[in-house]
Each structure stands twice: as structure tokens, then as C-alpha cells.
Amino acid sequence: MDTLTRTGIVIPANDGTDSVTAYRLSQRSIGNKFDSAGVLYGQGLLSARPAPGTAGRIFKPTDAGLQGVSYWDDGTAWVTHGGTELLTWAAPGVEVPGLTGVPVSTSGSATLVSGPTSGRRIVKSLTVSGPAGSSLTLTLAGVTVAKFSFTASARGSEFPVLIPVAPGETLAAVASGGTVGVLASYGYRSDAVVTRLGLASVTSSATLVAATGADRVVNQLWVANSGTATATASVTFAGVAVLASTPIPPGGLLTLDLPYGLPSGQSVTAAGSSALTFMAAGH
């Protein structure tokens, strides 16, 4: 019997002297070597990816928008690798090619971004300004997501954000107490990979991101208080507290730029001592 130098696989000698038993042992050696060191590769739509549990497998999704992304099975969960283009789009505030946006000045209501016919428009930054005593309320898909109150004159305050706007939805502004200015800078993706994972107005507790059979990544968590009194916020990711009774003042906005991996079967829960808006976006 001979042993291959690079792989360590045992093979029969090439002189016809090995027995039938030696040939059987050689076949077992080859099988065992590939089982322990071989790489199992698969590809297809992400929705068709098998359940994790076979350590060492690699899966390459063919979905649009997942170029350069691959997944490795660690025996318990699928772990994401690569995908620079996707990671850039999912990072709050990071510029992407083709960003656009039109400055809006309003003393009433105005549409900032309308959802596309397909895919997502991804808002990457918000710039707001207004005179002292004015306020700006943002709504997304009809839900109040933030309220900025200007106790002093504000000029061009910029916020890095990740706000995916889906088909049929609108990101809108409502001003009061004066003329306010707002600029939502956004880019367009033809797919729905980077998306809003959860949006909820919570007065006690609720599931913000429901458990599914897929791994996800939360890139930005958004907590806003559009009320008139301080409220406390608590958020739990897969059973781990990332916010615990954190005070949010009236008109306050708290954003956490994570990212936080959420394995399949896990959820995100949110709780507020009074009305708060929670939003999670990612991929």
C-alpha cells in the first residue's frame, strides 16, 4: 500500500501485490478522508438552502443582490462570508453609487421618498434643519418613526440611517411651527435583500422581528419617542438584552449601528414604558 503525500490517502500499490482486503481498506481510507476533509458545495436560491447541521458545507446563493456572498455551515448555523457590495448597502450612512435626493422645504407635509415599483429605495442619510420652536415628524408607511423638535435654530444636522422604502410605501415629513428643511439621500436596489425587518409602535411589549427559518443581520436599530414625556426602551436580541430600560426623552431618537447576526429561529422583542417606535433594518 502507498500513502499519497499531499492528502494522506492510502492507495493500493501499483505492482499487483496487494490483497482484496487491502483494496477494501483503501476504499474506506478514501471515503473517510473525503468525509473529514472534503468540501461540500451547493448553490441555488437562498430560499432553497438546506437546514444547517453538516459542518464544512458551503452554499452560494444565486439571488440578485447577493453577489460575492457565501455561507458556511458550522454544524449549527449558516455563517455569512464575503459580499462587500451587500455590506456597503446595509451599513447605515455609508455612501453607495447613485445616491440621490432633493432638498425639501415645507411648513406642512411633503413626500421625501416614494417606494419603487420593485426592489427597495434605501435611505442612507437624513439632513434636517428648522427654526427654533419648529418640529419635524417623519412617517414611514403611515407610521410615525421620529419627531425632531428644534428648541434652537438647527442648520443641517445629518444622521446616518438605513431606511429601506418598499413598493407602495412613502417616507414623508410633516412640519409645524415654521418652515423646516429635510434631505433624504437614497439609492436604489432592484432586489429586496436589504430591507426593513421590523417596524412597530409599542406601548408595552411586542415582537419587533419575528423568528423565521433564515439567518438575518440587523444593521440598524431605531428607537424614537414622538410623545411629550420621557419613556424607557428595552430590546432583546435572541434572548440577549441590548437595551435595558434606556430612557428616551420627548422627541428623542436613539439609533444603534450594530451589525447583529440573528440566527434562524431567533427573534427580536421590544418593550416601552409608553408609546415608542422601534424599527430594525438589515438583510
DSSP readout, 72-127?
A: EE-SSSEEEEE-HHHHHHHSTT---TT-B---EEESSEEEEEE--SSSEEEEEEEE
Tell me the DSSP string of 219-277: EEEEEE--SSS-EEEEEEETTEEEEEEEEE-TT-EEEEEEEEEE-TT--EEEEESS-EE
Cell 435583500, residue located: 193
DSSP 46: G
pTM: 0.75
The per-residue pLDDT string of the chain (283 residues; one tens digit each, 9 = 90 and over) reads 667 665 566 666 665 565 666 666 666 666 566 555 556 778 888 778 888 888 888 888 876 556 567 778 888 877 776 667 778 899 999 988 889 999 999 999 999 999 999 999 999 999 999 999 999 999 999 999 999 888 876 676 889 999 999 999 999 999 999 999 999 999 999 888 899 999 999 888 999 999 987 788 899 999 999 888 999 999 999 899 999 999 999 888 999 998 888 888 899 999 998 889 999 999 8
> Is the sign of the CA dihedral 147, 143, 166, 82 positive or negative?
positive
In this structure, are strands 120-130 and 135-140 parallel, antiparallel, or unpaired? unpaired
Give the count of beta carbons closer than 10 Å to the beta carbon of residue 229: 10
pLDDT at position 48 is 83
Does residue 119 come out as left (phi exceeding 0), alpha (psi in the -120 to 50 range) or beta?
left
Helix (H), strand (E) counts: the chain = 2, 22
Please give the backbone phi and psi of residue 52, each rounded to the nearest 5 degrees, phi first.
Answer: -70, 165
